[in-house]
Amino acid sequence: MQQSLQQAVSVVADADITVSAAGRTDAGVHALNQVVHFDTQARRADRNWLLGINTNLPDDIAVNWVKAVDTQFHARFSATKRRYRYLVLNRLCRSALHHQRMWWFYKPLDIARMQQAASLMLGQHDFSALRAKECQAKSPIKTLDQIQIIRRGDCIAVDVEARSFLHHMVRNIMGVLMAVGEGKYPPEWVNTVLASRNRDAAGVTAPPEGLFLTEVCYPPEYSLPTVSAFPVLW
């Protein structure tokens, strides 16, 4: 995504441009409201930036808005919260429509047990057991503000909110919650996993296709536009 966006912006700016994003997403993860900034000496109307950039992007990437900000703004470091949604299709048969958009899991899941486990992750913890081994973050300590699990029929949505996340953290959280939901472990197993600080002690890493970056929040003084881009399932 970054390379394609840089090339598109550079065409409109008529100069080599480097873009900085609010966060990185793995291959296969969907970013519905990614925020990116760049510095340029070029002067274009917001509408011209928007249409020009989109004209030069591949079909699977689109810019929703453009806004000038002051030099203090940084897409990554100015962010105050990031929200992700992970989608699971929980039924015996796979879906052609939701292929590459949800994790198809055929075993029955108990979301009450999953929510109980999720509540044990809230607050500040050492998440060493739930980050990728190649994670380059300086500290494994993060603060989870919210984990909410919703079920509508065969569809399960897990909403996760924090200021920042470790590499693969949300996908590894999902691996733990799914193991609890299918009955492999009790909800209290979360405490054992976190205390171990060992990635091998946790569950599998959930596939990337079910994960959506849904929102990046910034201080109100920036007055950034908001776009409703939630994956609509109900």
Indicate whether 91 belongs to any domain.
Answer: yes
Q: Tell me the per-residue pLDDT of 68-119, one tens digit each, with 9 for 90 and over.
A: 999 999 999 999 999 999 999 999 999 998 888 999 999 999 999 999 999 9
- Answer yes or no: do 129 and 209 share one domain: yes
Q: Are residues 193 and 206 in the same domain?
A: yes
User: What pLDDT sits at residue 229?
Assistant: 58
| Domain CATH code at residue 13 | 3.30.70.580
Q: What is the pLDDT of residue 1?
A: 78
Indicate the annotated binding residues for substrate. Answer: 84
Same domain, residue pair 113 and 31? no
Percent of the chain with pLDDT over 90: 85
| Residue 223 belongs to a domain | no
What are the tens digits of pLDDT across the range 162-209? 999 999 999 999 999 999 999 999 999 999 999 999 999 998 999 999
For residue range 29-78, list pLDDT tens digits in order. Answer: 888 889 999 999 999 999 999 999 999 999 989 999 999 999 999 999 99
Domain-located, residue 221: no
In a domain, 172, yes or no: yes
Give binding residues as ranges: 84
| In a shared domain, residues 60 and 170 | no
Q: Are residues 198 and 103 in the same domain?
A: yes
pLDDT at residue 190, as a whole number? 97
- Provide the token pair at 149: 């699990």
The total of structural domains in the chain comes to 2
**Catalytic hit among 14, 26, 39, 145:** 26
With contact defined as beta carbons under 8 Å apart, do 171 and 206 qualify? Answer: yes
Range of the domain at 48: 2-77
* 70 within some domain: yes
Cα 199 versus chain centre, distance: 20
Would residue 218 count as lying in a domain?
no
Residues 70 and 96 in one domain: no
Same domain for 71 and 110, yes or no, is no
30 and 134 share one domain: no
Strands 155-162 and 103-104: unpaired
Say whether both 87 and 63 belong to one domain.
Answer: no
Q: Which of 21, 43, 77 is at the close of a domain?
A: 77
The three-state (H, E, C) secondary structure of 21-71, written as one string: ECCCCCCCCEECCCCEEECCCCCCCHHHHHHHHHHCCCCCCCCCCCCCCCC
Count the alpha carbons within 13 Å of 115 in the hemisphere toward its beta carbon.
Answer: 10
Same domain? 139 vs 203: yes
In a domain, 225, yes or no: no
In a domain, 231, yes or no: no
More confident residue, 84 or 28: 84
> pTM here?
0.92
Out of 22, 51, 77, pick the residue that ends a domain: 77
Whether residue 15 is found in the same domain as residue 104? no
Catalytic status, residue 154: no
According to the model, what pLDDT value does residue 69 have?
Answer: 94
CATH number reported for the structural domain that contains residue 154 in this entry: 3.30.70.660
pLDDT value of residue 97: 86
Q: Do 153 and 38 fall within a single domain? A: no
